[in-house]
Each structure stands twice: as structure tokens, then as C-alpha cells.
Amino acid sequence: MVGCQFGCYGKHCSPLIAMAAKDDIYTKVTPRRQRLTRPGTVKQGASTLDVLLSMGFPKTRYLHGWVRLGEPSVTTRCVAPPRPRLFSHVDDPFLDDPLPREYVLYLRPTGPLLHQLTQYWQQSRLTCGKNKAHNIFPHITLCQFFMCADGKVEALTEALQATMASWRGRFPATLNLKLYTSSNFIGLFVDEHVAEVLKSFASEFATEAASKADVHIEPHKKQLHVTLAYQFQANHLPVLEKLAKSMDVSVGCDWLAVMFSRDIRFANHETLQVMYPYTPQNDDELELVPGDFVFMSAVEQASASEGWVYGSSQGTGLSGLLPENYVTRADECETWVVHGSHSFLNGAPPPDPGGRADSLLLDGQLLDSLGDLAGLSVLTTPMQLLRAGSEQSSLPKRSLFVCRHGERMDVVFGKHWITQCFDTKGRYVRCNLNMPPSLPIRSGGHRDYDKDCPITVFGGTQARLVGEALLESHTTVNFIYCSPSLRCVQTAQNILQGLQLDGKTRIRVEPGLFEWTKWVSGTTLPVWIPPVELAAANLNVDTTYRPHIPISKLVVSESYDTYISRSFQVTREILSECNNLDTVLIVAHASSLEACTRQMQGLSPQNAKDFVQVVRKIPYLGFCACEELGETGVWQLVDPPILPLTHGPNHSFNWREMLLQD
């Protein structure tokens, strides 16, 4: 079998194998670890390259470092040498790989127009969720992605600078933009006459780049435009179109011609950003540093085990397994590097308050020069502004929280825990400290616990931690609903205790929140404890509540569509009976986080297979939050007000078996 340039034999990057056959530059290169030698004598005033070469660094590594820092052009020679990256990537198996980076030339708006576009990005994402346009900042594409060898990048940036200089004073004073909408696309199109001028500029840059850097660039031949939204739900079109029409695109703007590069190896990968540090426990695991980015292919994602993914670090170049809940999804453009930014109006590099306008990759961190939205020369990524400012909206919000129950007895102690804990007379005696000291008496007998198990002591602790975190975040919970399963009722009770609402807010038991009945073993549904008996067992249940979907309406082995429809229906009815600004907490099952929120966002249900894959990754006390803007009826997932709760399995300990061995 022939492997790709990474030597992975089809495991990671089949798309790149096809490119390898297309161009000799993609042929496999065997990485060689270079041994660093003691620095030799270096003449006074020697260049950074001379110093690094004397230390044993190959010239290719020096160029790698420069390219990934931003650019070694005349305007940024004051940038510190790429030593941090060289040392952080010393174990990178592809450090000497000659594979070039991909480059692209965009026009990016600044000033008041960027402010208008950023507001549109924010409002459209909050009201309709993320669509494909959100993956990249607002821009006009001037050329297609092209490749350039590391040794030619300086000449490439000089070609852009020379082209800008020759066009000084020839650019149109304004770019007239006209709104266009269709069933799956919304954008601002450049006036045809002005577009031809911009295409001429791109064509001249392509000619200059071919002359100076020997690279082939294909100018953009289609209509020039700023994409506002595409590949969105059909029912979101009226809202997105209304938001687009509310923008004033005639406001002042300076356009910047900006050249970006990206690592071609990860062009088809999903980009993840590290949230929490992680120290590897095994040789095949990847060290995580907060702020770093990790790239993961679809093949790697499909082959990873539950709770773990396989990815490659941008900061070190190393690959390995990592815990999935330590990273969050990011946009690919967040890892791009700037290689020159020039003002559209005067052709000069825009001033930079920090002394440089380029992004720098230091110790694996991508640092962007950001500033005031109203400035005429600042590059900003609306996605970053969105995450930072999404919670500052002054619009009224309704909040919906959905939470999974705590650790359950039958999962920790197995299906036979009932025979271990109940004697022949049905009396309960715990045999492990993680078992509850007592259990509610069931009118149908203790065998009903077989399909309706309680939570463990640790499960109750988990739930109280969530309640305490909500209290510390000053989050108000007005109503709490839960599935009829005992584990959900007990979890809700412990959350209320953590919130210090025990005895004040009563739990509304709603059978319509029970999980997909197909997952119930046997031919009958569980026999749940009635609310009156739950209240008698000192559980703070509302005995006067009338369910939206009574138990009699539930059927065994319901279809997936029936379950999804049931969850959507009961969630809507729960919200409709609460006041406009009430916060509602639903405590139910792992499947509820998806089933109770997806259609509330105006999204179509996933297929059953993908649904199961999502559900299996939701841990105990998994928590999600939704918000509604005003009274639009459109909900959007947002960051929860509390931190996630991470926990792992703890094996049973028997001191006799462990310590009294011969």
C-alpha cells in the first residue's frame, strides 16, 4: 500500500493523496530530526539566519518559522526571529516537510461598514444559528487559493506591495454594494464597473507575483461580492433578509488588500481550539495548551473512541489522542496568518498601534492585531467579536436550560444491584458508600427499581454542584420540569438544594420528557413513582401539576420521529405556559439536550444515526442553554452560565482482594 506524505496509509488525509499525484511537491518526504550543534563563531552584525544556521538549524526550518510568523518583508523586519516556533516544533515529524502553504488575497472592509457587517453577523447568528458564511470574516475574494514555496514568500509579499504602489490613486473612492437574495444565498454585490477595476488589480498582482515569486495565481472571475449568508435553513430566509436590508452599506469604509496563508495539510480538517490544559497520561496522547488549535480530519473523528478525538496541534505539530471536552469548535480562518495588509485608498500599509500589522505565531499562539471597530485600518474577525460580545446584548431574553440526570445506580453497580441490596422481605440495605442510605418505598415493590433506578450518592453530589454553580452565577431558575424517571426527579431535587430553592420551587413531573422509549428493555414501560408518593418521600414535587403529555400517551418502542416530535411539542408547551422572561430548567436524559433544543432553533432533526452519536457523548449532568431574542420564537444555543462538570469512572476497591494477596 502506498502512503501519503504523512506516512499514514490513508488513515488521515485521503484528499491530499490525490493532490500528491497531481504535483510532485506533494511526494512523501521522510522527516529527519536534525541534531542541534553548539553555536560556532558568528561575526558581529550577523543576520538572524546566520545565527540560527550556526546553531544547526537548516535553512528550510528558518523559512518555515518566518512564513508561519507572518512574513519577513521589508515592512516587518523588526519582528522577532522565529525561534519560539522553531523550538516548540523541535519534535514535529513534518518540520522539514517541503509542502508549501496555501495563499489567498482578500479585500477586507474596515471602519463603519465593518461595524455594520459585524452587527449583522452577530444578529443573524443569534436569531438563526450559524451558517456557512460565519466560517470566514466579511471579505471580497480577489483570487483563488494558490501555493507558494516558503523561499518565495518574501518575493510574493513584495509583489503585492509593488502592485499596490503602482495602483496608488487608481482605486475607486467607494465600492457601491447592492443587496442580492435567493433561497439559499444572501450577499452584497460590487457594482459591475467597479468590479472590473478590482479584477484588473488582481490580474496585475498575478502577473507581478509570477515575475517576482514564480507562482501561478488565478484571479477571481466570478462576480465580486461580500457573502452575508448561505446554506441556511429555508425558514430563516425572511429573518436574514430583513436583517440585511436594515444595514446601511453606504457608510464610510477603507478597504484593505490582505494576503492570508493556511496550512494545506489541514485544509479539509475540522478546527478545534483548546480550552483547558491537559498533560498526557499515555504515550499516544497529545499535550494541550489553552489557546492552541488542534486539527482533526473526518476520518480521525470517525475512528476515535467515545469522549476522545485524534488531532494534530498547530503549536507543536505533534499528533495524538485528546479528551473531547477539553476543546471547542473554532473557525478555520482563526488559524490563518497575515502576509501583508495594504490600505485600499492610499496603497500604504495601515498603521499598527503595536508596531506591526501582521499576525504572529509565537510559541504556537496566533496573535492578531485587533482594535476599535471604528478605526479605518484595523483587521478584526467578527467571529472573535461575536464570542466576546454575544452576552452584552440589551435585548430581553428568555432562557431554557436542559440538563441530564446524575450518575445512575445500575450503570455503576450493574443490573444485579437490586438482588444485592434487597433481602427477601424487600428491605433495602446499601453495600457501598456510593449507594444512597435509603430509597423511597414503592407501592409496586422493589422490583420496579429494575427499570426505574435511583442516582448514586455521587450523582446527588454532582447535581448539587450544578445547583451551587448556578447560584454563584446569580442565575435565577423560575420553573423546573423533569422526566418521571426517579433518577431525574432526584437530580432535580439536588439541583434545587444547591440553588437553595428546596421547599420554594416545586418540581413539575412531565412524562413527555421521558427518553426515547425504544431504549427501554422489554415490552412494557417503567412503572414510575406517582407524584403523590414522591412528595411523601420528601421530594419537592408539585402534586397539582397536570402534565402536557400523560403517561397514557406514551407507547413502547416508539419511532424516532415520534420521539423527536414529542420532545419538541412538550418543550414548546412548557415554554408557552411560562412568563416571557422566565428561566426554565428541564432535567431529563442525555437525549433531551438534543431533542428539546434542536427544533427550537428552527433546525431540522438529525437522522437517527447521527442523533445517537451525539447522545452517547453527553455525560452525567451535561448542561446546555438556549436564549430567545424578544418574542421572535427563534431560540439559539448559547454558552451556559456555569462551567462544565468533568468526571470519570472509579473502579471498585476491595481491600481483602487487593491487600491480602500471597
Using DSSP, state whether 295 is helix, strand or coil. Answer: strand
User: Residue 135 is placed in which grid cell?
Assistant: 466560517
Coil/strand/helix, residue 614: helix
d(CA 441, CA 415) in angstroms, rounded, equals 19
Count of Cβ atoms closer than 10 Å to residue 308 Cβ: 13
Residue 662 burial (CB count, 10 A) = 2
Round to whole Å and give the CA distance between 343 and 54. 39
**C-alpha cell belonging to residue 601:** 432553533
Assess contact for 515 and 588: CB atoms under 8 A.
yes
- The burial of 517, by beta-carbon neighbours within 10 Å (0-12 exposed, 13-18 middle, 19 or more buried), is given as middle
Residue 544's alpha-carbon distances to 350, 440, 479, 555, in angstroms, are 67, 20, 14, 24
Q: Which member of 115, 265, 405, 508 is catalytic?
A: 405
Whether 404 is catalytic: yes
Closest CA to 353 of 333, 368, 334: 368
The H-assigned helical ranges of 390-480 are 409-413, 417-421, 457-472
**Catalytic residue at 446?**
no
Cα–Cα distance measured from residue 592 to residue 586, given in angstroms and rounded to the nearest whole number? 9
User: Are 143 and 219 within 8 A, CB to CB?
Assistant: yes
- Who's near 396: CB < 8 A, 6+ residues apart? 580, 581, 629, 630
C-alpha 546/C-alpha 510 separation (Å) is 8
Exposed/middle/buried for residue 516 (C-beta within 10 Å: 0-12, 13-18, 19+): buried
d(CA 327, CA 623): 16
- Which residues have a Cβ under 8 Å from the Cβ of 240 and sit 6 or more positions away? 124, 128, 186, 228, 229, 232
Phi and psi at residue 495, in whole multiples of 5°? -65, -45
Strand pairing partners for 507?
A: 480, 541
Q: State how far the Cα of 509 lies from the Cα of 514, in Å rounded to an integer.
A: 10
All three cell numbers of 280, joined, read 498526557
* Opening angle at CA 29, ends 336 and 60, nearest 5: 60
Hey, which residues does 296 pair with through a beta bridge?
270
Q: What distance in Å separates the CA atoms of residue 503 and residue 247, rounded to the nearest whole number?
A: 50
Q: Given 108, 220, 487, 589, which residue is catalytic?
A: 589
Question: What Rg, from alpha-carbon coordinates, does the chain have?
Answer: 29
> Is 647 noted as a catalytic residue in this protein?
no
CA dihedral 379, 146, 4, 303 (to 10 degrees): 40
- 646 vs 523: CA distance, rounded Å: 35
Q: What are 145's three cell numbers?
A: 487559493
Contacts of 435 (CB under 8 A, 6+ apart): 409, 413, 417, 421, 456, 457
Three cell numbers written together for 158? 513584495
Number of neighbours of residue 24 by Cβ within 10 angstroms:
7
- The catalytic position among 404, 464, 487, 598 is 404
In angstroms, the CA 380 to CA 106 distance is 14
What are the residue numbers of the active site? 404-405, 589
